[in-house]
Amino acid sequence: MSDHDTTATDTLLKLAQQAVEMARAAGANDAWATAVQDRSLSYAFRDGKPETVSDSTKRGLELKLYVDGRYGVYSTTDLREARLRDFIREAVPLTRQLQADPRRRITPPELFPTAPAEGLQLVDPRVAGLTREQRLAWCRELEAGVRGEPTLISTICSIEDGRKLVADASSNGFSGAYGKTSVGFFQQVSLRDAGPGEREVGSERRAEGEDGAACLHLDDLPSTARIGEQTLARARARLGSRQGPTMKGTLVVEPRAAMRLVSDLLAPAKAGNVSQGQSFWPKLMETQAFSGKLTIIDDPRRPRGLESHPYDREGIAARRLTLIERGVPKAVYADTYYAAKTGLPVTTGDPSNQIVQPGERALAEIIRAVGDGVLVTAWAGGNADPTTGEFSQGLNGHIIRGGEIAEPVVGMIVTGNLKTLFASLVEVGNDPFPYFALRTPTLVFENVQFSGA
Amino acid sequence: MNRRHFLATGTAGLASLTLPTFLRAQPQATDLTAPAPANPFLDWFSIDEAAIRRVMTELTANGADFAELYFQHKRTNLIRMQDGLASQATSDIAQGVGLRVVVGDQTGFAFTEDLTPESMLQAARTAATIASGGRATLPAHFDPRRQGDLYPIKRPWSEVGLDEKLPLIQKVESRLRAADPAIDKVTVQLTDTDERVLIATLDGRLLTDRRPSALLGLMVTAKRGDQTQSNMVSLGARDGIGFFTDARLKAQVDEVVARTLVLFDARRPPAGEMPVVLAAGASSVLLHEAIGHGMEADFNRNGTSIYSDMIGKPVAAPFVTVVDQGNLPHELGTLNMDDEGNATGRAVLVDKGILKSYLHDNISARHYGLREHVGSGRRESYRYPIMARMTTTFMENGPHSRDEIVASIQHGIIAETFTGGQVAIGPGDFTFYVKNGWLVENGKITAPIKDVNLIGNGPEVLKRITMVADDFKLDPGGWVCGKNGQSVPVSIGMPSALVSRMTVGGENV
């Protein structure tokens, strides 16, 4: 952290402490304040020239008030001292008008971190030193990766980087702060599709591809050349897409698309959902509910992890949490309030880096072994019901035929129940996409229902 | 495409519509010409014309075709009743200024939440780096303007206390609990906003708007034997607490209970292509995805929308007219002026089957050489740049009846309630997710269905609309439209209509 960031962090921490004091003075029994400052810059290039430069500076304060057994959350970006004091003076009596809830209590100190977080590597000092010239050079390199493509309609590429500082203080002794940097490349390309499509659109057809990467450290970014190649390759792969058939068969989901399915599976793994009966997880806990090939952990202490943090938004010390172990659901996300309501142990209310344990083989080997099926490269929209697990998702991808990736398909839907889908997981690849907080490799499911033509 | 959007979806070029009013009067024309008597908003933001002039000078120091300062103060309050306790409340104030300068197709943008002159000037300098020309000419004066009055309310939400909000949600909660013995869990949530906007433009306009909104959400979980089902509804408007009349509340309670209990008997339809009846009201999710996003001009001026080369061409049957209208009184999608200070109004996207007009912001209007345009430039807040967006999107009545449509189907479904939709704007491929619906066999409604995704391509599906009924309805729900990482409230509506063939994500047993 630079001297500038150290000074800014001290200022934020003082602001949080000052807000807690104001709340106590206004009559709150307890208070928890979180102050945040976030600066980011982005440059976007379209078709070889700058399209947008954007500079964002956020700063704000969130205050949780505990007043006579009542609880309210107040946040503001208006940090002028007089306005802030008025805001808090108004918030305390407002909180008092709510109904009392004995389960709502400030985080007990025994859940606080007991030692400074070491080794998280959340800050890369070099990000702060990035120049306008460097950002623009990267944009040009990305754009050069698709230049010359004869079917190109348009391409946009962008660079975004930022620094965020967080400081927390509470009336029962919590005091903490941390910073985090981020940097990312993103690119999208649109191509004219004159392939052998059979659709009645009455317009020139288009194929799109995109790629990107987000990291905390500059060293972890892939090369601009690789992003450009991937973007173009993904768009070209969509050329000539046509609607696939209605069928039952094997579903292979490449890593960046598998994220959606895992995210839907984990969405009801929250004590808040359990409390409201909106989760299929409780009946499955400690049973062999899913395939033995599925292990998922949440690791907020992963070095350089996109969602790593030393403590969560309640001040609970970050620790590794096993959600599913060899197909057996072991734990759910539970903050102090919903843990008290459900009787579940307190873990954390904040998902961080969710990691599906990888298997042995890469996508190409898996495709050869599968023989016939459907490869999903992106989802086209859909939904999953956290109460029942019923889901239905549109897909973009390819037919797999004879162990090879064959024609591209659109207009297909996968439908089923997440419980039975993850029970039918037959293989996990060794190829997680490293640029999402949710890291999952290729997933393979059997006997899946596809809707199409 | 940006980092936030990429991390959220893993893909780009997508737009979505999700769940988190009724036509009560004829639309009023907005009026941007009458002078306002005073401008109390300057005091609210602790600024004056001299400060605006200094920041605008810095912002346009390297040239500008147009530029604006967008001051916003938004207070959002939420109160939630769960498990019989109204014990959760939040209140948020977001205040800041977004600065934008446009030169050609290039945009410089910055925002700050520190409204001191130093901070605003620093932000203006960064935004100004997009340009490299000479200093722009500033107006002699910034003239205050008054605009329409599309969402008058008796009292702003800032004057409505918990003593009035609590009885409202308690009444809804107790009615839900009493509605059926199967009701197990109930959550009722009321969100209100009071938003002040002040826009200073390079052409010398000083525009203000005060935008109220309210959204009531009802979420229910029911148990029958070992089965559990849940569902939700929402009711929203740019209106005050008086909007939540007893009749409206009762209708929502009845609706969410019926939608939830029917799920116990519902099943999935067979998989594959079949006729789909879009029920009147929220089925306009399809219009929003299939045509609305593709008609937003930003994707067309870049040539990346599937509709880029189709203006003036027939895209649907002659009885299909699709409109986006930003000046329907009290609708969540309504604005007295858009976020560039332009008058909102009626934009006809499809006129009797012919593709008519895109939705424009200032950049695209200039790109297409339009002398005037319906204001469709919107932003989530001062933290985001402006884009062309929808407001209230709907299809007008057609010549058929709902009964005729249902009777015409041998084997198909009726899509009735939805959790949302998504579209890839370039290729035009879209989905929308049906939460409740009905199976139709031999011209009769035979069984409830649930949880199916429908998929199609915008222009293809428009061509396959073969019947449109005369039972137009605007959906009362609070819909949120997402595009490039920005969310804005919108409204949707349509009459019943038949799509002759769509792919339904069912299950073949």
Q: Tell me, what's the ipTM?
A: 0.89
Q: Quote the pLDDT of residue B9.
A: 42
Q: Which sequence spans correspond to the domains of chain B? A: 35-145+149-265, 272-504
- Where would I find the beta strands (DSSP E) of B330-404? 346-351, 354-355, 377-378, 387-388, 392-395
- Fold designation for B35-145+149-265: PmbA/TldD fold (3.30.2290)
Is A42 in contact with B315 (Cβ distance < 8 A)?
Answer: no
**Residue A38 near chain B (CB below 8 Å):** no
| B 158-187: CB under 8 A from A | 161-163, 166, 184-185, 187
> Does the structure show a pLDDT above 60 at B3?
no
Nearest residue on chain B to A185, judged by CA atoms? B3
Contacts with A390 from chain B: Cβ below 8 Å: 268, 450-451
pLDDT tens figures, B339-397: 999 999 999 999 999 999 999 999 999 999 999 999 999 999 999 999 999 999 999 99
pLDDT tens figures, B216-262: 999 999 999 999 999 999 999 999 999 999 999 999 999 999 999 99
Which whole number is the average pLDDT over B171-177? Answer: 98
* pLDDT range class, residue A4, cuts 50, 70, 90: low
Alpha-carbon gap, residue B508 to B504, rounded angstroms: 11
Helix (H) or strand (E) holding A261: helix A255-266
**Residue A66 near chain B (CB below 8 Å):** no
Q: Quote the pLDDT of residue B39.
A: 64
Radius of gyration of chain A (CA): 25
| B 431-450: CB under 8 A from A | 431-433, 435, 450
Which whole number is the average pLDDT over B176-198? Answer: 97
* pLDDT range class, residue B11, cuts 50, 70, 90: very low
> What is chain A's mean pLDDT, rounded?
94
Which whole number is the average pLDDT over B294-322? Answer: 92
> Does the structure show a pLDDT above 70 at B4?
no
Which whole number is the average pLDDT over B43-64? Answer: 92
> What is chain B's mean pLDDT, rounded?
91
**Residue B220 near chain A (CB below 8 Å):** no
Residue type, A185: F
**Residue B312 near chain A (CB below 8 Å):** no
> Does the structure show a pLDDT above 80 at B5?
no
Mutate to test the interface with A, among B9, B80, B113, B226 (most CBs of A within 10 A): B113
Is B187 in contact with A276 (Cβ distance < 8 A)?
Answer: yes
Is A208 in contact with B432 (Cβ distance < 8 A)?
Answer: no
Q: Are A142 and A186 in contact (CB under 8 A)?
A: no
> Does the structure show a pLDDT above 80 at A1?
no
Q: Quote the pLDDT of residue B146.
A: 74
How many other CB atoms are found less than 10 A from the CB of residue A81? 10
Q: Kindly report the backbone phi and psi dihedral angles of residue B140, in degrees, each rounded to the nearest multiple of 5, phi listed first.
A: -65, -40
Report the Cα–Cα distance between both ends of chain B, in Å, rounded: 41
- Is the domain spanning A3-236 CATH 3.40.50.300? The answer is no
**Residue A249 near chain B (CB below 8 Å):** no
Alpha-carbon gap, residue B173 to B186, rounded angstroms: 7
Q: Encoding tokens for residue B373?
A: 């345009």
Is A278 in contact with B304 (Cβ distance < 8 A)?
Answer: no
Which whole number is the average pLDDT over A60-81? Answer: 94
Q: Encoding tokens for residue B26?
A: 């004829």
How many other CB atoms are found less than 10 A from the CB of residue B241? 18
* Runs of H (alpha helix) within B14-76: 40-44, 49-59
On the CB side of A247, CA atoms within 13 Å amount to 12
Which whole number is the average pLDDT over A247-264? Answer: 97
Q: Using CB atoms, which residue from A53, A76, A87 is nearest to B129?
A: A53
- Of A384-393, B65-74, B417-426, where does mean pLDDT reach its minimum? B417-426
| B 326-365: CB under 8 A from A | none
Which whole number is the average pLDDT over A290-297? Answer: 98
* pLDDT range class, residue A6, cuts 50, 70, 90: confident
Identify the CA nearest to A234 among candidates A136, A336, A146: A146
Q: Quote the pLDDT of residue B32.
A: 36
Nearest residue on chain A to B14, judged by CA atoms? A380
Q: Quote the pLDDT of residue B35.
A: 40
Express as a percent the part of chain B with pLDDT over 70. Answer: 92
- Where would I find the beta strands (DSSP E) of A131-204? 152-170, 175-193
How many other CB atoms are found less than 10 A from the CB of residue A330? 15
Which whole number is the average pLDDT over B176-196? Answer: 97
Q: Quote the pLDDT of residue B12.
A: 42
Alpha-carbon gap, residue A268 to B286, rounded angstroms: 28
Q: Encoding tokens for residue A309?
A: 């943090």
Nearest residue on chain A to B289, judged by CA atoms? A381
| B 48-107: CB under 8 A from A | 73, 79, 82-83, 85-96, 105-107
Q: Quote the pLDDT of residue B36.
A: 42
Cβ-based neighbours of A385, under 8 Å, separated by 6 or more: A391, B230, B451
Q: Tell me which of B18 and B270 has the higher pLDDT.
A: B270
| Residue A431 DSSP SS3 | coil
Is B86 in contact with A99 (Cβ distance < 8 A)?
Answer: yes
Alpha-carbon gap, residue A116 to A122, rounded angstroms: 13
| A 152-181: CB under 8 A from B | 153-154, 156, 158, 160
Alpha-carbon gap, residue B213 to B194, rounded angstroms: 7
Q: Quote the pLDDT of residue A115.
A: 77
Shortest distance, CA A260 to any CA of chain B (angstroms): 8
pLDDT tens figures, A394-445: 999 999 999 999 999 999 999 999 999 999 999 999 999 999 999 999 999 9
Which whole number is the average pLDDT over A246-260? Answer: 97
Q: Are A188 and B13 in contact (CB under 8 A)?
A: yes
How many other CB atoms are found less than 10 A from the CB of residue A23? 27
Q: Quote the pLDDT of residue A202.
A: 57
Q: Encoding tokens for residue B159?
A: 């004057």
Alpha-carbon gap, residue A155 to A146, rounded angstroms: 8
Q: Encoding tokens for residue A310?
A: 């030393």
> Does the structure show a pLDDT above 90 at A118?
no
Among left, alpha and beta (phi > 0; psi -120 to 50; other), residue A164 is beta
> Does the structure show a pLDDT above 80 at B460?
yes
- Of A109-118, A290-299, B197-206, where does mean pLDDT reach its minimum? A109-118
Q: Are A253 and A261 in contact (CB under 8 A)?
A: yes
Q: Tell me which of B346 and B310 has the higher pLDDT.
A: B346
Which whole number is the average pLDDT over B269-278? Answer: 96
Which whole number is the average pLDDT over A63-88? Answer: 93
Burial tier of B62 (Cβ tally within 10 Å: 0-12, 13-18, 19+): buried
Q: Which sequence spans correspond to the domains of chain A? A: 3-236, 242-451
pLDDT tens figures, A331-364: 999 999 999 999 999 999 999 999 999 999 999 9
